[in-house]
Amino acid sequence: MKIKDFNLILFIILFLFLSNCSSGDDDTSTAISNVSNSSGINSANSPTGGNSQTENNSQPDNNSQDGSDNDNSSGVNNGSANNNNSDIKVIFNSNLDSSLPTEWITQYNVILDTLDKRIPVYANNYESLDIYAWNSNTNKPFSGKIGDASGACICGNDQGRYMVLEIPNDEFTYGSMHRYSVIAHEFFHAYQMGISPNFYSGDFRIKWLNEGPAAVFESIYVQEHYDYNYFKFEQDRVDPEATSSPSIFESYDSIGDSNYSSSVFMVLALVKELVKLEKTEEEAIRMIIKDYQELNPGSANWKEVFEQTFSFSVDSFYQSLASYESNINNVLPSESLKLQNIFSN
């Protein structure tokens, strides 16, 4: 082979080699930044200063799962149990205003993470929930998203729901346990929406069976994680009508239910009645706050579902309440209760 030919072949080989070498500049940072949180919670470790992290296109109104009218009938399924088949968790999008103390934000994230592991909310009836939280000493920092919504509630309309946590400034000043317990209370309502289409749509609105379980849930959480008997010290203002005229607490318009004390009393009395039927305390509470809700009671059938779940009628239970003194101390549950034991089945 001539030297000239050899040089030509060498040149061609070198050219082909270089042309097959790419720069290899793959943008892996995009893939990393889009990794989702497997817990289903978009935690907010720092305040947002009033800027929402997510867009909520629903029109804010005064409807809520915590006391006001919500007559959306779409999706209502009276008389049939809910099929909770989803294994995808609801995404919680946290929007925390800069007015909130750092210690509250820390506890907020701990509570949501703990509850997400203990009783995860699955996307059976909705896929995500925006949470808006702020100190009451700030003038509605999220009004552009949620209008005049205030207090603590699962609010919204038939276009969507969102959680509101307006924490009274006095609760920070005086160290009220409610500043933490309300997070667990509203989380339980999010759980209810996940297991009951009728609760999500607003068709099931029996106050003592909606708010009583949520308030019992928050009290057990506080008792377990903060070693504070919230039942005894914060839910002790039971109205005498809880035993003499209990049906009035079916309505959200009823009075005499400060901090849902009367609703809590009725739920705990129901626990006592179930224990008489040889249920354990954990089993009785689970039947009320989980099993009954999963059977999807609605406005037309809640009494039938009640009897199906507990083996006695609502009227029979109301009659049994006459034998109780309207005092929370007479129905207090064990201080050793654990949510994990209640929800394990």
Residue 340: which residues within 8 A CB-CB, separation 6 or more? 118
For residue 103, is pLDDT > 60?
Answer: yes
Amino acid at 214: A
What residues does each domain of the chain span?
38-49+60-203, 204-345
pLDDT by residue (tens digit) across 296-330? Answer: 999 999 999 999 999 999 999 999 999 999 999 99
What pTM, to 2 d.p., does this model score?
Answer: 0.80
- Residue that wins the pLDDT comparison between 15 and 113: 113
The secondary structure of 21-39 as a DSSP string is -------HHHHHHTPPPTT
178-204 mean pLDDT: 97
For residue 148, is pLDDT > 60?
Answer: yes
Q: β-strand 160-167 against 128-135: which pairing, if any? A: parallel
pLDDT by residue (tens digit) across 239-249? Answer: 999 999 999 99
For residue 50, is pLDDT > 70?
Answer: no
Q: Look at residue 23 in the predicted model and tell me its pLDDT.
A: 35
Decide if 238 contacts 328 (C-beta within 8 A).
yes
Q: Lowest-pLDDT range, 22-31, 71-80, 145-154?
A: 22-31
Q: Look at residue 313 in the predicted model and tell me its pLDDT.
A: 98
Q: Write down the residue that tokens 């509605």 correspond to.
A: 140
From residue 144, alpha-carbon distances to 148, 165, 229 in Å are: 9, 16, 38
Q: Look at residue 221 in the predicted model and tell me its pLDDT.
A: 98
Q: Predicted confidence band at 142 (pLDDT cuts at 50, 70, 90)? A: very high
For residue 217, is pLDDT > 50?
Answer: yes
Q: How many CB atoms lie within 10 A of CB 163?
A: 28
Q: Look at residue 344 in the predicted model and tell me its pLDDT.
A: 87
